[in-house]
Homo-oligomer: A and B are copies of this chain.
């Protein structure tokens, strides 16, 4: 395949690029390097089948130019789910919704017809059914991030119907592993360096975290793209177990647990236990102190 990867210099994107190259594909990476690192693509950049285009997805012409010749778009670039987003609500609309429209239009212009999209378990809001299946009741969005992602999903759906696209939508929660730059594991590691005697747990009610190892996530994406021939394919992706960070209060906070039976029916199964994924993440952080410096 001739792959086009948005967010190619990010945590998940750079790991996906490496996997696609290892499988013999041609890959164009697109990234504005605002939160990604060129250093994550050192291996890829040494491969003649890889090309990195530095550009911004808000620049529709730049995306279209860079995409020429690609047949499969992996759209991973996104505005992260940050607690501070209510102060900058436009960033979710811009970076998650409008840029997805730019990607879809670039596909329409260049003839690329297959898209894999990194959605989020946040699209379920506070689900009434746990574990939550893909066809859970019509969700109520509780975050600007979830709203922007569900908007992007809807546009992708519509392009499937209107323009004959084939789409793979993956809804997942926190991901960990090599090149992980944020999230609970990174935060806890950072804290224990700063004050080894104390660990502050998040006060925003996210006492539960159910992390998926990045290579298991990529296994699922590649397997679905290979096996699923429907026009629209929507999958939850989550770990085998759920890993509870000890609760501070009695209420325990919300627990978002995905029902991943649909993906598992394809034969997918996370290969790494959560504890092992945490260990690999920590090992990577220990070996790459520059990362915490860069994100201080």
CB neighbors of B among A208-228 (8 A): none
Additional A-B contact list (20), CB under 8 Å, known A142-B158, A150-B151: A89-B104, A89-B105, A89-B162, A90-B101, A90-B105, A93-B97, A93-B98, A93-B155, A97-B97, A97-B151, A138-B138, A141-B153, A141-B155, A141-B161, A142-B161, A146-B154, A147-B151, A147-B158, A151-B151, A151-B154
Most buried by B among A134, A141, A163: A141
In the bound complex, do residue B137 and residue A158 qualify as a contact, i.e. CB atoms below 8 Å apart?
Answer: no
A147 x B138 contact (CB < 8 A): no
The answer to whether B136 touches A147 (Cβ under 8 A) is no
Chain A, residues 154-168, CB within 8 Å of chain B (1/0): the string is 110111011100000
**A181: min CB distance to chain B, Å:** 25
Contact (Cβ within 8 A) B147 A157:
yes
Could you jot down 14 A-B contacts, CB within 8 Å? A89-B159, A93-B97, A93-B155, A136-B137, A136-B138, A137-B138, A141-B161, A142-B161, A143-B161, A144-B155, A147-B158, A148-B155, A151-B151, A151-B154
Cβ of A135 < 8 Å from any Cβ of B? yes
Copies of this chain per assembly: 2
A residues engaging B (CB < 8 A)? Answer: 86, 89-90, 93, 97-98, 101, 104-105, 125, 134-144, 146-148, 150-151, 153-155, 157-159, 161-163, 232, 234
Complex: chain B residue closest to A151, CB-CB: B151
**In whole Å, how far is A30's beta carbon from the nearest beta carbon of chain B?**
21
Instruction: Please report the C-alpha to C-alpha distance between residue A237 and residue B151 in the assembled complex, in whole angstroms.
Output: 23
Pick from B86, B135, B138, B234: contact of A162, CB below 8 A.
B86
How many angstroms between the C-alpha atoms of A53 and B163 in the bound complex? 38
B158 touches A144 (CB 8 A): yes
Contact A86 B147 (CB under 8 A): no
Q: Which residues of B contact A142 (CB under 8 A)?
A: 157-158, 161
Q: Could you tell me if A155 and B161 are in contact, using CB atoms closer than 8 angstroms?
A: no
CB-nearest residue of chain B to A161: B142
> Does A101 contact B125, Cβ atoms closer than 8 Å?
no
How far is the CB of A90 from the nearest CB of chain B, in Å?
7
A81 to chain B, nearest CB (A): 12
Chain B residues near A153 (CB, 8 Å)? 141
Q: Which residues of B contact A138 (CB under 8 A)?
A: 134-139
A154: B residues at CB distance < 8 A: 141, 146-148, 150-151
Closest Cβ neighbor of A150 among chain B residues:
B154
A140 touches B232 (CB 8 A): yes
Residue from the set A141, A144, A150, A158 with the largest chain B CB neighbour count within 10 Å: A158
